[in-house]
Amino acid sequence: MFRRRGPEKMRVNQRLQRIAIVSALCGMFGAPLPAFAQGCALCYTQAASAGTRMIQALQSGILILIVPPTVMSVFMIFIVYRKRNQFRQADAPASNRN
């Protein structure tokens, strides 16, 4: 009669979970938050005494210093997440033999 499709349902759930995570990250990084650098006294004094071009340069510098480490961290987490079961499966048969 009716067959349950467990693995397919699991794949759909994983896809929906990934879509939800990506959507949340896009929303988090896409939302403008004006309070990112309020704690830095040097940035505050420089921005207060500068013109619009200096403020644009300061904002660009902050992005240049923040974006590459963030992207690299996310990439490393993604690689670790994808490879997490590879070592477990390689070690499992050896432990069962003993």
pLDDT band at 74 (very low <50, low <70, confident <90, very high): very high
Question: Cα–chain-centroid distance for residue 29?
Answer: 9
Res 81: pLDDT:
86
User: Which residue is associated with the tokens 């990112």?
Assistant: 36
71-84: average pLDDT? 90
pLDDT of 76 strictly over 90? yes
pLDDT band at 27 (very low <50, low <70, confident <90, very high): confident
Are 55 and 47 in contact, with CB atoms under 8 Å apart? yes
Apex 28 CA angle, 37 and 13, nearest 5: 155
